Amino acid sequence: MKLPVNVSVLRKLVQVTAFVFLVFGGLFGSYYYLADKLSGALPALSCAYDYQSSDYCTLITFQHQLAHRVGPGLTGDIDLMSGLMPFAVTFGTFVLLFVVLNKAFCGWICPLGTFQELLNMLGRKLGLRQTEGLSRNTVQRLRPVKWLLLLLLVFGFPLLTGLGWLDHDLRDPYCKICPSRILTTLATGNGGELTLDQASPVTLVLSLAADFLFGLMIALALTLRQPFCRICPMLALHAVFRKIGLLRLVKQATPRCDRCGLCARACPMDIGEIHTEMEKRDVTFDDCTLCGRCVEFCPDREVLQLRYLGLPLFSSSPEYFKRRKRAQLHWDRNTLLHRPDGPAAGRAGAK
């Protein structure tokens, strides 16, 4: 059967292309990791520990600059302006790229997000029973975690290390536990980041946490959509600036929205507010990755839209919804290991 062309298929093509470029792009130029290049890193989520990457994650840049530039600048060990300027440049490049892409970076480009989606597709094809959505209470309890990781591990501990208040091994604590560090290095044939760092008790605990998180993410992703994305500090960082991005998710609610809820069931991040919000037009919520699945599975015309600079890029419609639902039914029926009671198509499973 001819592969149906829809937004989800287009997004997968973009994701796979971005994964190859970000993880292996260094093969096409001299981008190998050097510590003194961190201040010039652009905000792409390709891990600096990956020697073949084409660019570096802005989170490691923030941590290193806080520990080695901003902190010493505040204590007077180096000139304050020379400490603040690299951080300001990195922050500025992040904001500029964010204005262009908004949170679509998470839903369309991030290699770690792509890996989790591919794992979930594999789980569905193997006929594994899926957790089609977390309860509202569970979602609410998980949401603060990404903010804690951002404030403590990305900004707090590195700055305190630079001020001389914490052990030097905490200069980049988030990178020490980030699953992307293990994923991207493994993708290039380097298994060194899986080993336990026994240089100190701090590094040992962090490397144990890293291996545990990576394994847990793989196990959960086979049956749950986007498990690590729900607590990722990059998503929290994006949420801070979501109002200035040019790409938005917009809703024009109708009375039918009260009775439907297909948009919320299609959302891989279990954002129930997409369904319940009846007043606000901008529904680019904190956890939204602008993947567009809610728009795909909305059966009413122009109730949900992805808009860029106020112009509609993709709008919900009854015609598209019918085609998309048929494509989903076909996708869900075909599993590698046939199981009669496989994933229910009505839940808008991953594709």
DSSP 174-189: HHHH-HHHHHHHHHTT
Q: Is 108 in the same domain as 132?
A: yes
Q: Is 231 in the same domain as 290?
A: no
Q: Is 310 in the same domain as 161?
A: no
- What is the distance, to the nearest Å, from the Cα of residue 46 to the centroid of all Cα atoms in its chain? 12
Q: Is 104 in the same domain as 20?
A: yes
Q: Which amino acid is at 40?
A: G
pLDDT digits over 30-47, tens only?
444 443 343 344 445 567
**Domain end (from 198, 218, 237):** 237
- Inside any domain, residue 1: no
* pLDDT for the residue 339: 52
**Domain end (from 197, 218, 237):** 237
- Inside any domain, residue 113: yes
Q: Is 88 in the same domain as 211?
A: yes
* pLDDT for the residue 68: 94
Q: Is 186 in the same domain as 71?
A: yes
- Inside any domain, residue 84: yes
Domain that holds residue 24: 7-237
* pLDDT for the residue 28: 61
Q: Is 74 in the same domain as 94?
A: yes
Q: Is 51 in the same domain as 108?
A: yes
Inter-residue contact 120 to 350 (CB < 8 Å): yes
Strand ranges in the chain using DSSP code E only, listed in sequence order: 247-251, 304-308, 311-315
**Number of domains present in the structure of the chain:** 2
pLDDT digits over 123-156, tens only?
999 989 999 899 999 999 999 999 999 999 999 9
Q: Is 230 in the same domain as 299?
A: no
Q: Is 261 in the same domain as 168?
A: no
DSSP 225-290: SSTTGGG-HHHHHHHHTGGG-SEEEEE---GGGGT--HHHHH-TT--THHHH--S-SB---TT---
pTM for this prediction: 0.89
* pLDDT for the residue 41: 42
* pLDDT for the residue 50: 79
**Domain end (from 211, 237, 263):** 237
- Inside any domain, residue 2: no
CB within 8 Å of 170: residues ≥ 6 apart? 157, 158, 160, 161, 202
Where the chain has pLDDT below 50, the residues are: 1-4, 30-43, 340-346, 350
Please provide residue 27's backbone torsions phi and psi, each rounded to the nearest 5 degrees: -65, -20
